[in-house]
Amino acid sequence: MSVAARSGGDAVSIEGRARIVIEGVTPEVDGGRFPIKRVVGQSVTVEADVFTDGHDAIRAELSWRRDTEKEWQRIAMKPLGNDRFRAAFPVDELGRCVYAVEAWVDHLLSWRLELARRVEAEDIASALLQGAVLIEEAAARAAASDAEMLRAWAAQLRGTQPPTARQRIALDEEHYAAAARYPDRSLALRSAPELQVVVDPPLAGFSAWYEFFPRSCSPEPGKHGTLRDCEARLRYAAQMGFDIVSLPPIHPIGTIKRKGPNNTLDPGPDATGSPWAIGSAQGGHTAVHPQLGTLEDFRNFVRTARTHKLEVALDIAFQSAPDHPFVQAHPEWFRHRPDGSVQYAENPPKKYQDIYPFDFESAAWRELWQALADVFRFWIAEGITIFRVDNPHTKPFAFWEWAIGELKGEHPELIFLAEAFTRPKVMHRLAKLGFTHSYTYFAWRNTKYELTQYFTELMQGEGREYFRPNCWPNTPDILTEYLQFGGRPAFLARLVLAATLSANYGIYGPAYELMEHEPREPGSEEYLHSEKYELRHWDVERADSLRAFISRLNAIRRDNVALHSDWSLRFHNIGNEQMICYSKSSDGGTDVILTVVNLDPYHAQSGWVELDLEALGVDAQAPYQVHELLSGARYLWHGARNFVQLDPSHVPAHVFRLRRRVRTERDFDYFL
């Protein structure tokens, strides 16, 4: 087996007789430089252009294996026309798989196809002898059980019956199928480079995240919350139907240059500091902030979360406060100014004196890389498998590719969320090099045009092979103007959009469900009295909380597999620029969810949706039921055009399940 490498020059001394061409193998990312991504239980559909010179028949196989195994598994590829072939393989285990396309000129198949077209007895007789040789060669490669049968078949072809009679014998399907199991692969080629797929855990494909600040969980206002205080909050998040609770950094907070409330430079004596100013005399990235509790408290927190079927995501921010132990122990990991002081973060004229970035151009970069990877390893050993990585785009791409590669190699169940809100190519690079999930521009895509363009790009563009969107309507850093001014309808609409457009979504709470909407100052997207800089006390039992709505929405997500993946997203026309309509379908189309959202938080809007019924697998001639899952109401629709009205003073969205009419044997109709 040669690979389909460059055949100029070298080929003369290698194997010039291999006549097959394999090109255009998909899916691939940057020519195989990066892996594609899948979730356990999915499959990879591979296509390739395969052809040879002249008229000979060819065969193509999809080959795949676990990257830890040597033996390839193979499946025949089917021709799609225009020299394109396709096959799929399942990915049932976490980790990496490798795939390629193998193909060869198949003389036995060529012979068979030509024999069927031969007319003159003399030609047939000659071809029968050629075929006998090919079949005997197959017999020599065959398992003993088949070899004898094949030899007997060849003998018949060489026999004394009239050529046309032997032609019929030679064209026997069953005998051919046996011979075809032992093809002559001596001149087969395999596509190069081998392509890779990273197979992630189910939560990578479908998840609802709830981020909250443990230090604000004290039942007593003004008191620093502890991890033990969070038990109620865990139960609360689980009741809302979330899968993952995500915590800001839980490490000791620097005391030098500590920031005060609203990111001021005057902390005052009681300032709690920012959890992202990591490290003090009490420890660094592998320590627990004493005001939150002990490592044992953290273990208990994780255990409790598990009892609620919640996974815990930690925030990993690779930067140090001035009093982080690293600063003393490893001055070589930081950049120094001419006066010998450590260089703090800055973007002139802005200065962040409470943050020391690592110097990844340090001569001691190898030790730094290892130390940072070991931070992950520490928490992995504590049972954490999900990490929200803070500002990964301010650390080298090569570091992340190495670190995630190493860690996922050790623990393929890991999930890394890239907290990068930056330029498109930078975000894509982080996704390519290994981040499991990526934050998106969703928070700033508010109009129908913006949402349609952006989600079409996310779900149908080439990037979907590696960029898995995780959509958040708010984060501790992001309170959009739409939420600042849109009131309750805005919070409801953005929640429905996030939860139904994207299989992976999250909110920062209780700010979200309590509709916190005051910015630090006009024009700012920062929260006033942000939890990043001070303790907050949240009354999660408030009557106007969105908690029940969120619970309902998460239950709908969980119950409907249509919402468990992204690629089936399809937008449908609705004749109102303030309304958006889209569907998602399960594989096979048994579950179809249709969502309609009024994007105008101030006025009732209505319009006629125009569904692509054929794409949805709905019979345009028969009525069908739309079951509104938020309210439980059911409507009978007919045909593509149907009327929808949404009043933001009630709920600005419909989430419909399409139910097709089923007629039973006893002539009893119901909707499935």
Q: Which is nearer to a copy of itself, 133 or 271 (CB)?
A: 133
Q: Measured from the CB of residue 339, what is the shortest distance to a copy of itself in angstroms?
A: 7
SS3 for 125-184 is: HHHHHHHHHHHHHHHHHCCHHHHHHHHHHHHHHCCCCCHHHHHHHHCCHHHHHHHHCCCC
Q: Which is nearer to a copy of itself, 95 or 405 (CB)?
A: 405
E strand spans, 513-640: 570-574, 579-585, 592-598, 605-610, 623-628, 634-638
67 is catalytic: no
Residue 44 · residue 442 · CB < 8 Å? no
Say how far residue 334 (Cα) sits from the centre of its chain: 34
Long-range contacts of residues 173-179, Cβ cutoff 8 Å, at least 24 apart: 175/149, 175/150, 176/108, 176/112, 178/142, 178/146, 178/149, 178/150, 179/108, 179/134, 179/135, 179/138, 179/139, 179/142, 179/150, 179/153
Q: Which is nearer to a copy of itself, 54 or 268 (CB)?
A: 54
Pick the catalytic residue from 61, 200, 243, 390: 390
Nearest CA to 463 out of 439, 489, 427, 488 is that of 427
Please name the residue that has the structure tokens 């730094």. 368
Q: Which is nearer to a copy of itself, 28 or 566 (CB)?
A: 28
SS3 for 97-139 is: EEEEEEEEECHHHHHHHHHHHCCCHHHHHHHHHHHHHHHHHHH
Residue 245, CA distances (Å) to 281, 471, 551 in order: 28, 15, 15
DSSP class of residue 438 equals E
Pick the catalytic residue from 56, 419, 566, 600: 419
Q: Which is nearer to a copy of itself, 397 or 602 (CB)?
A: 397
Q: Which is nearer to a copy of itself, 139 or 287 (CB)?
A: 139
Q: Measured from the CB of residue 130, what is the shortest distance to a copy of itself in angstroms?
A: 6
477 is catalytic: no
Rounded CA-CA distance 439/472 in Å is 7
Interface residues toward a copy of itself, by CB under 8 A:
6-9, 11-12, 16-19, 21, 23-24, 30-31, 33, 49, 51-55, 82-83, 105, 114-115, 117-120, 123, 126, 129-130, 133, 187, 337-339, 346-349, 351, 357, 360-362, 365-366, 369, 393-399, 401-402, 405, 423-426, 429, 433
Nearest CA to 497 out of 443, 555, 424, 573 is that of 443
Q: Measured from the CB of residue 374, what is the shortest distance to a copy of itself in angstroms?
A: 14
Residue 448 · residue 578 · CB < 8 Å? yes
Q: Which is nearer to a copy of itself, 135 or 515 (CB)?
A: 135
Tell me which residues are annotated as active site: 390, 419
